[in-house]
Structures are given as C-alpha cells and as structure tokens.
Amino acid sequence: MAPKWGIKFAVYLITNHFGKIVAKVCENLLDHGALTLDLVIRYTELSPEHVKNSLLVLIKHNCVQVFVAQGGDEDGSRAKTQYMVLFDNILHRLRFPKFIEIVSGELDDKCAKFFEGLLRDGILNTKQMVDRESQGKENAVAAAAVRESLLKLLMARYVERCPLPEARIVEGEIITKKRGAKGAQDVIVMEKQIQLIQALQKIMQKRT
Amino acid sequence: MAGRGYGRGRGRGGFQSYARPEPFVLFPEDINLPDAKLGENVASMKHLIKWDLSFDSYFKAAPYLLDDTESKGRKRMHVERFSDKKKIAFTRDSLSQVLYYDEFVKELVPGKSKQMLSRKKFRWNPEADAKKLAFFEELEKKFLAEEGKDKKKKKEESEDEDENEEGKESEDDFNDGDYNQNVDYDDDDDDFNDVEAGNGIITLLMKMSIKILWRMIVCSSCGCFHTSMDYC
C-alpha cells in the first residue's frame, strides 16, 4: 500500500501526463487497491466510457495490471477481471529522461529512439513501431532494421515482451490464460510486444 | 490577600517570561547558499531538461490526455464570436486511432463486452422441440385411450340405469355444458369481493385490466419469444 503523500504525488504525475479523468481513476485504484470495472465506475462516479478509456490509457502505459481472480464458473464466465495500479511504475515516469540518457549512452542512437518511442506510447507491437519510424519519411523503414535494434534492447533487457492481456491468478502463481492448442500457436506467431518494467528496474539497479 | 499569595508563588518558581515573538521573514537575506555545483554535468543536465520538456509537450498534445469534452461543449453555448475561431485550432487524435485493441481486456474494448453471449447459444434447436412434441403426443394418446375406456364403462352403466329408470327423464340432460355445472365458468362475478359492498367499480376495473394483460401476454407469446425454446 502506497503512503498518503506518495498517492498524492502519483496522482499529480498522472494528472500532468493524462489529465484529470485518468488521474481520478488512478487515485481510486490507489486508495482502494485492486477493483473490478463496476466498482471503479461506482467509486469514481464517472461515465463508463470515461472509466474504460482511462483504464485503457493506464494499461497502455503500464500503470495498471489486469488480472482475473480465482473463482467463478469453469468456463470463466463469472470470473471477475480486476485492475491493480502499479505505484512504482507511475513514479518511474518522472525518471524517463534519465532512462533515455542511460540507453543512449550504452547503445546507439537508433535504439535510444525506439526506447523513447516506447516510453512515450507505452505498449507497442513491431508493426506500430515500424509505422512510427516511417512517419514523415518518404520510404517506409524496413521491419528488419526495427527488429535488429529491438533485439539489442531485448538482449540488454531494457524492454520485454508483454504478457497476454488477461493474467489468471491461481494459488498465488500468475499463469497466463490458456487458449488451447490454437491459442498457443497464436502466442508464438504473435508479434513482439514490448514492455518496460524489467528495463526500468535494471536501470535503477545500475544507477544505485 | 490574593495579591500576596500570587507574589509568594512567583518567588518560589522563579521569574518566568515568554519569548518575544519575532516576525517571520520569508526570505532572510543573511543566509548564504552555496553555489550550485554543476561542473561537468552541465551538458547532461541540459539534455535531461530538454528531454523532460519534450516529454511534457508530447503528453499535452497526445491522445492519451482525456478531456471532458461535454463541459467544453457547454461553454461554447454562447453566440460564437470572431475571436473564438482562433482558439479551435488544435484537435487531439482519438484513442481509437492509437490503440491496438487486441492487446486489451475484452470488457474495455468499445463495442464488445464479456457478458455478451455467442450466437450459438441463441440458435433454435428443432430437435429439442421434436422430442417434446413426441412426448406430448404419447401423453395425449394415453389420455385418449383411458378416456375411451371410461366412456365404454359409462355407456354400459348408463344403459343399465336407463333400463331401471326409464321414466325419470329429468333436467339432468342439461348437465352437458359447463354453464350449468357452474364449474370453471367465469360469469364475471367476483367471488371474493362483493360488488355491492362499495368497491364494485374498482374491482371491475381491476378485472378489466387483468383481462387485457392476459390477452397481451397471449399475443406476445405467439410471435416474439422464439429464443426461449432452448431454455424449455
């Protein structure tokens, strides 16, 4: 549980980046802990659309973790999806310039540029990264080039692949939701999605 | 007396005086702060500040910053002036342009909800009805067979009776209809509420409304609710 002033600071950071509506959702999640969508709507007294959008933004920027609590029916029809705010990741937003500085120092400028893109837009897949890079250029950037610099970032563990959208918690372990044999293939084929948690932690360790 | 006593107390305890309140100075001038030691880090600090500013400016214009568009709309209710035209230059991208919805939970994705059942569950299953129909047909046949037996028995009995009581042709012949039997016949009389007892009009109205409701239910059951077949 985050301290009172910590919550205030986190809410201030979120207000600066995403506005008051998202900050209100974030504040309620920080105050009450993990909540379902219905409860978030009830506590914030915002319209469902606003709450959904702000949760999408928070998930996109890795400030909220989604998980399905144990219980409900066998087919998972009654299992409630819960949203848990990641307090540390919100505070890391203040250190973004420092992270870029470290990455640009260790790796080349291309990697730093990709890294900056990930910090700005949160979760991205390779297609989105290629599109991002080709913006404002006459010729589209080759996917292979993007993959190459992405691989460097992955090897240095500054970025990592996203887990599946809904993690299922079973007896304290976090297991990604099973989707059958076809689903497993999809996961393998699925394009690389990148996340920042591990990278940020590693950078912090190096600095301290 | 009182004054003397006060004096003694003072003598024992010693002379106590409160500290004079000094005016609080917000920015005292006599404090010398050390100079900021930037030294070698000046360049990196400049870079950091530059990145920080670029992040701030990006997030201000990014589609992730959610505005309350309704409140803005209300503000613009007044008659539009020429000077207002300049203000509406910046339009933010919508979230749907940026987000890739496969990455997110289904209940958050607009247009999809987790509670929505698949169409397969609502599909009409004719086999289930055929079984039920066969079952009811069997029941009907059984019932008819039993009725036939009963009638035969009754005929035999009635023939015996006719032989014994030929002369007794009475009003019992009228007992065929439900009307005379007064069983399961609704003669629009309320059995529980007395019409003449004062609530007559209300009870009549109630009855009318119930009848109308009943008709509505019957009508609605004819056409609309095919999907409930599966749940029978």
For A81-124, give the DSSP string.
Answer: EEEEE-HHHHHHGGGHHHHHHHHHHHS-HHHHHHHHHHHHH-SE
Q: What is the pLDDT of residues B2-18, one digit of tens each?
A: 445 454 544 455 556 77
A65 vs B71 pLDDT, higher one: A65
Q: What is the pLDDT of residues B28-64, one digit of tens each?
A: 888 888 877 766 678 888 889 999 999 999 999 888 9
Task: Compare all CA atoms of chain A with the CA of B96 and give the residue at the minimum distance.
Answer: A53
pLDDT of residue B139: 93
* DSSP states along B107-123: GGSTT--TTPPPHHHH-
Mutation target to probe the B interface, by most B beta carbons within 10 A, among A57, A92, A99 is A57
Q: What is the pLDDT of residues A85-106, one digit of tens each?
A: 999 999 999 999 999 999 998 9
Cβ contacts (< 8 Å) between B99 and chain A: which residues? Answer: 56, 60
- Mean pLDDT of the region B136-143: 92
On whether the CB atoms of residues B149 and B143 are closer than 8 A, the answer is no
Interface contact A37-B95, CB threshold 8 A? no
> Does A117 map to a domain?
no
Q: Is the minimum CB–CB distance between B56 and chain A shorter than 8 Å? A: yes
pLDDT of residue A83: 92
B96 vs A153 pLDDT, higher one: A153
Of A56, A61, A119, the CB nearest to B108: A56
pLDDT of residue A171: 53
Q: Is the minimum CB–CB distance between A186 and chain B shorter than 8 Å? A: no
> Does A20 map to a domain?
yes
> Does A81 map to a domain?
yes
> Does A121 map to a domain?
no
Give residue A75's domain range. Answer: 4-92+194-206
Q: Which helix (H) or strand (E) holds B147?
A: helix B126-164
Interface contact A123-B103, CB threshold 8 A? yes
- B88 Cα to chain A: minimum distance (Å): 19
* DSSP states along B19-85: PPPPPPPSS-SS--PPPP--GGGHHHHHHHHHHHHHHHHHHHHSTTS---HHHHHHHTTSPPPTTHH
pLDDT of residue B2: 45
What one-letter code names the amino acid at A193?
A: Q
Report d(CA A196, CA A123) in Å as an integer.
Answer: 8
> Does A128 map to a domain?
no
List, for chain A, all residue ranges whose pLDDT scores fall below the cut of 70. 1, 70-78, 169-208
B47 vs B94 pLDDT, higher one: B47
pLDDT of residue B119: 56
Q: Tell me whether residue A34 is exposed, middle or buried, using C-beta atoms within 10 angstroms of its C-beta: 0 to 12, 13 to 18, 19 or more.
A: middle
Q: Is the minimum CB–CB distance between B107 and chain A shorter than 8 Å? A: yes
Cβ contacts (< 8 Å) between B102 and chain A: which residues? Answer: 165
Report d(CA B88, CA A19) in Å as an integer.
Answer: 19
Q: Is the minimum CB–CB distance between B108 and chain A shorter than 8 Å? A: yes
pLDDT exceeding 90 applies to what percent of chain B?
Answer: 9
B76 vs A137 pLDDT, higher one: A137
* Strand ranges, E, within chain A: 35-36, 64-68, 81-85, 124-125, 160-161, 167-170, 173-176, 193-195
Of B48, B68, B102, the CB nearest to A21: B68
Do β-strands A35-36 and A81-85 pair in parallel, antiparallel, or remain unpaired?
antiparallel
Closest CA to A174 of A183, A184, A182, A164: A164
pLDDT of residue B59: 92
Report d(CA A118, CA A150) in Å as an integer.
Answer: 11
Residue B129 predicted with pLDDT over 70: yes
Task: Compare all CA atoms of chain B with the CA of A61 and give the residue at the minimum distance.
Answer: B64
Do β-strands A64-68 and A167-170 pair in parallel, antiparallel, or remain unpaired?
parallel
Q: Which helix (H) or strand (E) holds B13?
A: helix B2-13
B227 vs B210 pLDDT, higher one: B210
Do β-strands A81-85 and A173-176 pair in parallel, antiparallel, or remain unpaired?
unpaired
pLDDT of residue A52: 92
pLDDT of residue B30: 83
pLDDT of residue A8: 94
Report d(CA B232, CA B220) in Å as an integer.
Answer: 17
Task: Compare all CA atoms of chain A with the CA of B117 and give the residue at the minimum distance.
Answer: A77
Number of C-beta neighbours around residue B72 at 10 A: 9
Report d(CA A68, CA A175) in Å as an integer.
Answer: 10
What one-letter code names the amino acid at A117?
A: G
Interface contact B68-A20, CB threshold 8 A? yes
- Structure-derived torsion over alpha carbons of residues A123, A198, A64, A166, reported in degrees to the nearest 10: 70
A67 vs B122 pLDDT, higher one: A67
pLDDT of residue B91: 67
pLDDT of residue B200: 59
B47 vs B103 pLDDT, higher one: B47
pLDDT of residue A194: 47
- B81 Cα to chain A: minimum distance (Å): 28
Report d(CA A97, CA B50) in Å as an integer.
Answer: 8
> Does A53 map to a domain?
yes
Interface contact A59-B104, CB threshold 8 A? yes
Interface contact B66-A57, CB threshold 8 A? yes
On average, the pLDDT of chain B sits at 67
Residue B113 predicted with pLDDT over 60: no
Q: Is the minimum CB–CB distance between B22 and chain A shorter than 8 Å? A: no
> Does A162 map to a domain?
no
Interface contact A61-B104, CB threshold 8 A? no
pLDDT of residue A63: 92
Q: Is the minimum CB–CB distance between A167 and chain B shorter than 8 Å? A: no
On whether the CB atoms of residues B110 and B96 are closer than 8 A, the answer is yes
Report d(CA A57, CA A150) in Å as an integer.
Answer: 23
- A99 Cα to chain B: minimum distance (Å): 10
Cβ contacts (< 8 Å) between B110 and chain A: which residues? Answer: 49, 52
Q: Beta partners for A195?
A: A160
Q: How many domains does chain A have?
A: 1
- B197 Cα to chain A: minimum distance (Å): 52
What CATH number should be reported for the domain holding residue A55?
1.10.10.10
Among A140-144, B36-40, B113-117, B144-148, name the one with the lowest average pLDDT: B113-117
Q: What ipTM did this prediction achieve? A: 0.77
A94 vs B216 pLDDT, higher one: A94
Q: Is the minimum CB–CB distance between A197 and chain B shorter than 8 Å? A: no
Interface contact B108-A101, CB threshold 8 A? no
DSSP-assigned letter for residue A156: T
> Does A158 map to a domain?
no
pLDDT of residue A96: 93
Q: Is the minimum CB–CB distance between B96 and chain A shorter than 8 Å? A: no
pLDDT of residue B34: 82
Mutation target to probe the A interface, by most A beta carbons within 10 A, among B53, B99, B115 is B99
- Mean pLDDT of the region B166-193: 53
A46 vs B184 pLDDT, higher one: A46
- A4 Cα to chain B: minimum distance (Å): 25
